[in-house]
Structure 1
């Protein structure tokens, strides 16, 4: 971890500290002990008081990353992430595979709307063309892993909301609607602090980091069938890029 945090940046000190501790845990900085350093040690390291450190640790505890143990200190609760492969045929259920006993796909909202410029560009449609929008959350063993907004050409996939709600799977929903196979054409990956909607959907605390993918799937003829913006909880998932 770097040294003292930056004041007057517009980001609360406890959030900066929580981010750095989260990153250190992800990097394996505390693997030898399995414990986060004592509050006083962290306070000196970051140049803040113990109350600020305590607020950061409390936020990480709410995320389930650490747990206070009476008489011992702060235990790292979870270090292992789910490995999520991104390949020619990226699928949530098969990608998670045996890493989770149960996976679920929940439909939060849906609607038919006109494609804006971004959606139209990804789906290779004229702006204003009707598309189906889904808002979904994927869970593994009851824990939210990703939150996604997906768009589909309405002329071809008007029944997508019902199919997804029934099957809890994009792949199975496509199959019900007559598309037996599809491939991942493009994936862009960035990272950011979680916004309010994702804090709720992914059960995160302010300051948490999400990995964001923008992805386009096509049918086997190369015609776009889905554009998705997916936010993954960064402390729960790591990506593997496969050829």
Structure 2
């Protein structure tokens, strides 16, 4: 009997997962009610709930109290933070297609916290970029970044040509850069954040505050980003850098 119960919930889990991965249940859609799922896949209520719990654990669905279960096909993304973190590379390694949507770009005076992070005077001109980032067209963060205009004059013109920041840096002699610092915290989302990230209004978000620097350790960018906590996990990983250092020592 126990074995049959195990087999039953696993079959339900496999059937639901296959349906999600095949697109039978589109990303963001609400799963049918428990009676309809049992009618479609068979099994009992207890087995179905165990299967749904496993799907939630795998990051394939999320459950909202009083509303039901919703599909999130991206699952939980394991976002690697290292000395040379590059968002597009991170997502490509996970088999995801990255894209972004600039929302607002303009010159602004540096607020105190931004100035401190960039080692510039408060009020000095910085170029601000507000944008949304996506993995397979599913929102994974909304961010605001700041670049010192003294270091990157005319960066606004380069951005209007839709160049990626990494390519823009090269035109200013910054051919490589590193992640100098990353702080991670949690916060409750604003109504706008919840809407953009497709989250329940009371679900906490992960907040990252980071500083990128050139190879001399001089800051070139500061940014703050809000991430959906149910779709992202951060892994601090410097193994590639250790491998590079080992190879250099051997040479």
Q: TM-score, normalised by structure 1?
A: 0.68
Q: Which deviations, in whole Å up to 9, do the C-alpha atoms of 1:218-237 show, x marking residues without a partner?
A: 10111110010011111221
RMSD of the TM alignment (CA)? Answer: 2.9
Does residue 91 (structure 1) correspond to residue 56 (structure 2)? The answer is no
Alignment of 1:1-243 (within 5 A): 34=13, 64=28, 67-69=31-33, 71-72=36-37, 75=52, 76=61, 77-78=71-72, 80-164=75-159, 166-167=161-162, 169-243=164-238
Q: Structure 2: how far apart are the matches of 1:227 and 1:210?
A: 19
Q: Unpaired runs of 5+ in structure 1?
A: 1-30, 36-60
Q: Structure 2: how far apart are the matches of 1:173 and 1:83?
A: 27
Structure 1: 4+ residue segments shifted above 6 A: none
More helix by share: 2
Task: Mark the CA change 1:117 to 1:101 in structure 2 (over 3 Å): closer, same or farther.
Answer: closer
Q: Structure 1: how far apart are the matches of 2:194 and 2:163?
A: 22
Shift of 1:214: 0.5
Query: Are the equivalent residues in 1 in contact too, given 2:111–2:123 (CA < 8 A)?
Result: yes
Shift of 1:161: 4.2
Q: TM-score, normalised by structure 2?
A: 0.66
Q: Which residue of 2 aligns with 1:48?
A: none
Q: Structure 2: how far apart are the matches of 1:197 and 1:100?
A: 29
Task: Mark the CA change 1:68 to 1:177 in structure 2 (over 3 Å): closer, same or farther.
Answer: farther
Query: Are the equivalent residues in 1 in contact too, given 2:27–2:72 (CA < 8 A)?
Result: no
Query: Are the equivalent residues in 1 in contact too, given 2:91–2:97 (CA < 8 A)?
Result: no
Q: Which deviations, in whole Å up to 9, do the C-alpha atoms of 1:134-192 show, x marking residues without a partner?
A: 10111111111111100110112244345446456432332344321110011000112
User: Which protein is bigger by CA-based radius of gyration?
Assistant: 2
Shift of 1:66: 5.4
Task: Mark the CA change 1:137 to 1:181 in structure 2 (over 3 Å): closer, same or farther.
Answer: same
Moved more, 61-70 or 86-95: 61-70
Task: Mark the CA change 1:207 to 1:161 in structure 2 (over 3 Å): closer, same or farther.
Answer: farther
Q: Unpaired runs of 5+ in structure 2?
A: 1-8, 15-24, 39-48, 53-60, 62-70, 239-251
Task: Mark the CA change 1:164 to 1:234 in structure 2 (over 3 Å): closer, same or farther.
Answer: farther
Aligned residues: 188
Q: Structure 2: how far apart are the matches of 1:196 and 1:158?
A: 35
Secondary structure of 2:198's partner? coil
